[in-house]
């Protein structure tokens, strides 16, 4: 795979997210509610930057055939639910507040979550998943997991999710260069997990 070397830079970014999570866990462990088989973040609706979609597809293809078969079946279900959500969101396309509210209220199970509530590619999970249980800053607002016990009246270290997104965008632009794609606007598009798992990156770039 000609774009595999760029994955090292992505893994560096993922490792950085892990280190920050562990630092906050060490300082404020009583506030972090993450634990084995906790799957709250695995039912949230979110998209992947191109670099993450390509990396997850790469790692998914290395799994054994039986595990891939189970994941692909769950992809079909998740994709159907996402298409229903897209139809609902079209009703609020001119209302960003309702769009955000609808996205937050919808719960769609990630196809990578197995029957034991464990991530099938946990070591390779997206950056968003890695920092879900700690305070994160996005669009100037600090957010935390609904199950966390961070006190709103106190100040805590915050993971700069906006900064991580900028890095993911930059890496996605570099990936587009490697693939010979000149339209850099595609680097800002977000891809669903089912789409990333079922479609080679070169193919869905042609479909965009």
Domain tally, the chain: 1
pLDDT value of position 2: 60
Share of the chain above pLDDT 70, in %: 97
- At residue 200's C-alpha, the angle toward residues 198 and 202, to 5°, is 150
pLDDT value of position 153: 82
Interval 65-77: pLDDT, tens: 999 999 999 999 9
Burial of 100 (0-12, 13-18, 19+ CB in 10 A): exposed
In whole numbers, what is the pLDDT of the chain averaged over residues? 90
Interval 95-151: pLDDT, tens: 777 777 777 777 889 999 999 999 999 999 999 999 999 999 988 889 888 889 999
Long-range CB contacts (< 8 A, 24+ apart) of 165-170? 165/49, 165/138, 167/13, 168/10, 168/13, 168/49, 168/51, 168/52, 168/127, 169/49
Q: Whose CA is closest to 181, among 1, 33, 3, 5?
A: 3
* Whole-angstrom distance, CA of residue 171 vs CA of residue 167: 6
pLDDT value of position 3: 66
- The region, left, alpha or beta by phi > 0 then psi within -120 to 50, assigned to residue 140 is left
Only one residue has tokens 């700069």, namely 160
| Pairwise pLDDT comparison (105 vs 154), residue with the higher score | 154
For residue 4, pLDDT over 80 is answered with no
pLDDT value of position 171: 96
pTM for the whole structure:
0.89
* Whole-angstrom distance, CA of residue 204 vs CA of residue 208: 6
Average pLDDT score over residue span 16-24: 96
Average pLDDT score over residue span 166-172: 97
Interval 50-63: pLDDT, tens: 999 999 999 999 99
| Pairwise pLDDT comparison (146 vs 164), residue with the higher score | 164
pLDDT value of position 1: 57
Q: Which domain holds residue 79?
A: 4-207
* Whole-angstrom distance, CA of residue 47 vs CA of residue 69: 22
Interval 80-97: pLDDT, tens: 998 888 887 778 777 777
159-160: strand order across its sheet: 141-143, 136-138, 159-160
pLDDT value of position 161: 95
Q: Could you tell me if 121 and 5 are in contact, meaning their C-beta atoms sit under 8 angstroms apart?
A: no
For residue 124, give both structure tokens.
């390779």
């Amino acid at each position: 795979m000609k774009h595999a070397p760029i994955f090292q830079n992505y893994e560096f970014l993922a490792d950085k997210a892990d280190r920050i999570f562990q630092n906050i866990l060490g300082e404020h462990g009583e506030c972090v509610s993450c634990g084995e088989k906790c799957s709250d973040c695995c039912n949230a609706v979110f998209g992947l930057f191109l670099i993450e979609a390509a990396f997850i597809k790469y790692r998914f293809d290395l799994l054994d055939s039986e595990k891939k078969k189970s994941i692909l079946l769950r992809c079909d279900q998740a994709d159907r639910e996402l298409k229903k959500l897209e139809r609902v969101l079209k009703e609020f396309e001119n209302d960003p507040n309702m769009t955000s509210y609808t996205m937050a209220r919808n719960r769609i199970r990630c196809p990578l979550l197995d029957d034991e509530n464990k991530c099938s590619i946990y070591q390779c999970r997206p950056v968003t998943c890695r920092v879900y249980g700690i305070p994160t800053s996005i669009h100037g607002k600090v957010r935390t997991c609904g199950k966390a016990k961070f006190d709103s009246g106190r100040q805590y270290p915050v993971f700069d999710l906006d900064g991580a997104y900028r890095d993911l965008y930059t890496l996605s632009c570099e990936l587009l260069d490697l693939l010979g794609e000149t339209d850099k606007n595609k680097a800002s598009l977000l891809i669903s997990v089912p789409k990333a798992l079922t479609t080679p990156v070169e193919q869905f770039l042609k479909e965009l």
